[in-house]
Chain A
Amino acid sequence: MKFTLSWLKDHLETEASLEAILEALTDLGLEVEEVSDPAATLGAFRIARVIEAAPHPDADRLRLCRVEVRDGPDAPPEEVQVVCGAPNARTGMLGVFAPVGTHVPGTGVDLKPGVIRGQESNGMLCSERELMLSDDHEGIIDLPQDAPLGVRYIDYAGLNDPMIYIKITPNRPDALGVRGVARDLAARGLGRLKPLDIAPVPGSFDSPIGVSIDPALKDKGCPLFAGRVIRGVKNGPSPDWLQKRLRAIGLRPISALVDITNFFTFDLNRPLHVFDADKVQGGLRIHPAQGGEELLALDEKTYALAPGQMVISDDTGPESIAGIMGGEHSGCTEDTVNVFLESAFWDPITIAATGRALKINSDARYRFERGVDPEFTLPGLELATRMVLDICGGEASGVVMDGAVPDHARSYRFDPADVGRIVGMDIPEAEQRATLDALGFRLEGDQAHPPSWRPDILGSADLVEEIARIASLSRLQGAPLPRVAPGVPRPILTPLQKREGAARRQLAALGYNECVTYSFIDQASAALFGGGDDSVMLQNPISSEMSHMRPDLLPGLLQAAARNQARGAKDLALFEVGPAFSGGEPGEQAIHATGLLVGAAAGRDPHGSLRRADLYDAKADAEAVLAAIGAPEKLQITRDVPGWFHPGRSGRIGLGPKLGLAVFGELHPKVLRAMDVKGPAVAFSVWLENPPQPRKRSLARPALQASDLQPVERDFAFVLDAQVEAAAVVNAAAGADKALIDGVRVFDEFTGEAASAQMGEGRKSLAITVRLQPRQRTLTEAEIEAVSDKIVAKVQKATGGVLRG
């Protein structure tokens, strides 16, 4: 919402400074976005006289001007020499002069004393473009001979009027008119709201155009439609004051009739429409569109109307999209002599729906969908009639109307204690009542009746807000919020929140860099990771790169890896802890902790050669996360992994066959190629919700079982089929004597071609260390031998492995 200071003062009698007004506006909730003050930008430009304009001795196109300048109307004259290139510079003319030191907005240059082709030049005679008043650069400003020397040009030209741009929150349609803004300022105490004189204009004949509202719209869509014919008008440019106002707020003056309707839109938040009455056939009918009607609107676009959208039609068809935009056919032109002036009240919801469907953003729609003052429909029509008659002449008919002002009467309990109880501000009751009164509320006992222009007031809480707002929330003093309970605060995080934190800190400690990637990705990437169907598709994505909710965190991390590789980074350890989406319903999301390793796990350095990250790095890190979040220790590794992993080099960590806790492994080369990542790469995901919560948390640890007796370690090497898994060997060995065997550890694997050559095709050797922990007494050699035999037998039975000779 834009207006100028002088426009505001049409409604507000005030001595307040611009500064004070701006501060109050922002504080009242009418936040000032921008101010342009011509006194600040153009205050140095004054009216001056060209004493003599002589040819420049060394340049044909330049003139040497002796200029009489005054630093104010009563200041002594001074003579200044200026070199000027304007063709219209001539002896005796009056123009606009900028002294040395002035910032010229049109050129962006600060004027300095200069020498042009050997002649001194101390200042500038300016064109309108240099003052950014218009695009005119044909010549310098040429003022009438009675223009007062030394006066600031902005004062002389009536341009000294600051423009104020405020942001209006959607609840304040009343502030979309200058008068509403003035009312707030008056309530704050910054002046007095001037009375609005509404004298009805009597009609001298009956309107030849009648109006009727379709019964389907009378209850809701269009409760009231009024208008009248004004005949014999002369349309043309609107008067200077009106043009200046519209220009100041960024509107282009068009013609008197159009400018008048625009003026009422911004002055009183009363959008109007004028039809060329000679182009209207028969009466005007307000009705829902049947669907399929087309209308060329004033923005020169053709709109096809959908069933139910409100239109105003004459006998030949639609002439206006009701409350949103008029039609080109019945619009006013320079030649218009008879007009029909419309003022109506439209249902905000219907207007909003139609405007959105047709994608029309007009000032009328903007106001009607927020809610204009229904009571002002007819007064607005009278005021506008008066202005049309004043500016364009002519003669008005009587008012024709259908419908009535909709009932907006309501009242809410006003309790002066509420402001203290809710806001915590101490405001005397008299001040509270005065505030409501100034805003237009009617107070009756303990009931407050909101004014017709405040559709947003819908309860007692709104009264509190108005009182506190006008009093100024800047007066509010903080008051301590007591603790919930005295003493040391209780813990507040849920077990899952603690898991997220633990996983995150553990991964960072392992050397991973945390990323936060977008929750939406492109369809192709989503599809590679088991997602990308319509249930997780956005209806209105911002780009095709962000069209589907991610099914997994890996695609985002892989894209991040590809970007980093493109920047020259080779070795990457990236992770993210965040949501992945299995469907499009609320709650179909799970928290993953996902890590990605690309490149070397150990870089090339003096201490060893480069080692690529492999699946065992991913596995160890997944296990570290599981340990950090308190997952059970005994977990099973299986090979049922999703398709984006290398089928032979990946595994799933689960608690039994049903409950998966994590996957890890090398990523499928096809997936890496599709994601543009130079591999190989390994990754893991831990599903943080899945590990069961410990049933009961006991803080006391079980007693330490530490034997004083020396443990004994024995090594075994087995020859096995190459695809026998180490876990089978370890489990078999551990089961040989559960009381005595304290641990089994794989310490070597000999596999590949060399192993085949030694031990036969498809064979490998696996070496384990078994740790025996005696409890009662030291083991004898014979006892150790006996256990060893059992271990060998167990492993052989379980895996077919034989002791390597």
Chain B
Amino acid sequence: MDGISELRARYLDQVAGAADADALEAVRLAALGKKGEISLKMRELGRMTPEERQTAGPALNGLKAEIDSALRARRAALEDAALDARLQAEWLDVTLPGRPRPRGSIHPVSQVMDELTAIFGDMGFSVAEGPQIESDWYNFDALNIAPEHPARQEHDTFFMHRAAGDNRPPHVLRTHTSPVQIRAMQDQGAPLRVIAPGRVYRMDMDQTHAPMFHQVEGLAIDRAITMAQLKWTLEEFCRAFFEVDEVELRFRASHFPFTEPSAEVDIRCSWADGQLRIGEGDSWMEILGSGMVHPHVLRAGGIDPEQWQGFAFGMGIDRIAMLKYGIPDLRAFFDSDLRWLRHYGFAALDLPDLPGGLSR
């Protein structure tokens, strides 16, 4: 059966030499097609003697399988080569920019309000709110600021217009978040723990003042709350908010009509190369006002000062945002300059929480 060897050699050669799919198909038809050379040879098996068939049959079958396998391998190789060539041709410039995805931002005031909520929420303070156009009773009288008291004049109050014939005292744009204290006491009674962040308004506009800014009020009322607990609460807040290991606060006597005793609170800090560091150094910086809620204020909120006592504090949200994040100018907060919003803003997913730390 020399013919077999010759056939094998010839067709394997042709398979290997097929340059493309068409050439390979031609080889397949020539060898294994209906009228292919090997197919014809296999048809001849019927005419052989059983002895001849014994040897020729397996040999031809083996040849057919071998050629078939070579054809498949060659086809796969040709397809791979074609794919490689196509992929080579499909080159794109990967340095072109990706399709733009919008990048929004959260305003620092909102971010800091969320930080306040995270910290005080953990200490059991809920978030209270109140109207920004307030009656003068809530903004002043209920907070122990009598109509003719000079403290009332020092507030630089915006008054709402009163129509002729309407003889009620004009409403005011709330000058502080403290009226929310009264509303929270009236609504919820004692015991009570709330913070009240929000917009406040003063008739003041210069390099460091804007006629609108943000404050947060804190109020805790219970049977035996002390000023010492106020100090601890503020220490814990400052440590968490400024994200430092230690803070030191200094209470300084002061006067607010709605608290007694009252204290301005300073925080230990250092200024070096225009960089503020909280918790170290030899400087003190005033950051908030606080005190024990005045009995008149408790009474105005419908709470019996013989039974309950508590502390209150208030601080500027914009201010602590400026201190923490190194933002230089208050008025820029309200200018909506896109460059500023992007530079000082926060990502949508930067929702502050305590386990992850307030900031990224």
Contact = CB atoms under 8 A, between A and B. Distances in A.
B163 interface: yes
Interface stretch (A112-120, A123-131, A168-176): A168-176
A513 B340 CA distance: 10
Contacts of A489: 121-124
Interface stretch (A229-237, A539-547, A631-639, A770-778): A539-547
A584 B255 CA distance: 32
Interface string B126-164: 110101111100100000000011110110001111110
B201 interface: yes
B227 interface: yes
Interface string A507-539: 111111111111110000000000000111111
A106 to B, nearest CB: 28
Contacts of B114: 501
A164 interface: no
Given A422-B227, A489-B124, A539-B160, A461 B104 contact: no
A288 B102 CA distance: 70
A483 B123 contact: yes
B233 interface: yes
A94 interface: no
Interface string B100-115: 1111111101100010
Contacts of B201: 519
A33 to B, nearest CB: 12
B229 to A, nearest CB: 4
A281 interface: no
Count chain A CB atoms within 10 A of each CB in B149, B150, B201, B261 and give the residue with the most: B261
B133 A581 contact: yes
Contact of B106 (A348, A504, A538): A504
B349 interface: yes
B231 interface: yes
B199 interface: yes
A549 B99 CA distance: 41
A585 B166 CA distance: 13
Nearest to B347: A508
A31 to B, nearest CB: 7
Given A489-B124, A569-B338, A510 B102 contact: yes
A319 B162 CA distance: 36
A26 interface: yes
Interface stretch (A211-219, A295-303, A470-478): A470-478
A538 B227 contact: no
A560 to B, nearest CB: 3
B212 A519 contact: yes
A480 B232 contact: yes
A534 B161 CA distance: 7
Interface residues of B, number: 95
Given A370-B150, A478-B235, A586-B138, A513 B104 contact: yes
A740 interface: no
B161 A539 contact: yes
Interface stretch (B9-17, B50-58, B59-67, B245-253): B245-253
Interface in B73-125: 96-97, 99-107, 109-110, 114, 117, 121-125
Nearest to B255: A169
Contact of B104 (A478, A481, A510, A539): A510
Contacts of A515: 107, 336, 341
A474 B199 contact: no
A160 to B, nearest CB: 27
Contacts of B233: 481
Given A422-B227, A481-B225, A29 B255 contact: yes
A171 B255 contact: yes
Nearest to A489: B122
A101 interface: no
Count chain A CB atoms within 10 A of each CB in B101, B160, B163, B201 and give the residue with the most: B160
Given A539-B170, A581-B132, 14 more contacts: A170-B150, A171-B151, A423-B261, A477-B228, A481-B220, A481-B233, A484-B193, A493-B117, A493-B121, A493-B126, A516-B107, A575-B104, A584-B133, A586-B133
15 contacts: A478-B231, A478-B232, A478-B235, A481-B229, A483-B124, A492-B121, A493-B121, A508-B106, A515-B341, A516-B336, A539-B160, A557-B336, A585-B133, A589-B133, A607-B99
Interface of A: 26-29, 31, 169-172, 348-349, 352-353, 356, 369-370, 421-425, 459, 461-462, 464-465, 468-469, 472-474, 476-481, 483-485, 489-494, 497, 501, 504-520, 534-543, 546, 549, 557, 560, 563-564, 567, 569, 572-575, 577-579, 581, 584-589, 602-603, 605-607
Q: Which 5 A-B pairs have the closest CB atoms?
A: A511-B102, A424-B228, A478-B232, A424-B226, A560-B336
